[in-house]
Amino acid sequence: MTPHDEQTVTPRPRTRAEIEAALGGISPRRQAFNQRVSAVVDGALSFIQRHWLALVNGALIVFIGIAALAPIGYSLGLTGPSAEVFTIYRFFCGQTPSHSFYIAGYQMCLCSRCLAIYSSLLAFGLLLALIRYTPRRGLIRPISWKLWVLGMIPMALDGGTQLFGLHESNLFLRLLTGIIFGAMTAWFILPQIEESSPAEPQVAHA
């Protein structure tokens, strides 16, 4: 055995993080990565919690706007993209031609009842946005689930009786029942989310 083989290497001192990592089984690099991921997730959740209403209203504006732009796309010769949009919207609406509005001679992606539902959701969301950072923030309180179910009845009766041939609906009834259901749904859900979201700090006025 040579003197070189007999030479021992003195281990370097371990940091506190390395000791904790050795005991916990997680390396400092992994701990740092976990902390960065947690910070990003916490930041995203905080942003959504503060701006959820703007995100919901924005999504509804885009959703309704695309439904109105698709027939315009057909009229301009953009058949491919418009057809794709029409296909995607079938997940949200039955798209009965006789129950739909037409723009430039082409059917919208949403029937009149669904358009009324989503539009009333948007209208309620915009109303809530107008008062959420005012002293009347808690003016709109959520309704009970019983009233929400009650709001479904007109739409269920109108659609159900027509389905079984007992009644023929019309544009007015489809719009009215859609508005009632959409408004009651928004009134039931949105204020509950609003009550759990943080209030914007008020600016003191002299």
pLDDT tens digits for range 17-70: 666 666 566 667 776 777 788 778 878 888 888 889 999 999 999 999 999 999
Give first-to-last CA distance, the chain, whole Å: 87
Report the range out of 7-11, 180-184, 201-205 with the highest average pLDDT. 180-184
DSSP-based three-state secondary structure for 108: strand
According to the model, what pLDDT value does residue 45 have?
A: 80
* pLDDT single digits (tens) 179-194: 999 999 999 999 999 8
Residues 183 and 150 sit within 8 Å (Cβ to Cβ): no
pTM of the shown model: 0.78
User: Which among 189, 178, 188 has a CA at the least distance from the CA of 156?
Assistant: 178
Residues 151 and 185 sit within 8 Å (Cβ to Cβ): yes
Average model confidence (pLDDT) for the chain? 85
Q: Which two tokens stand for residue 51?
A: 């701006």
User: Percentage of the chain surpassing pLDDT 90?
Assistant: 61
According to the model, what pLDDT value does residue 38 have?
A: 77
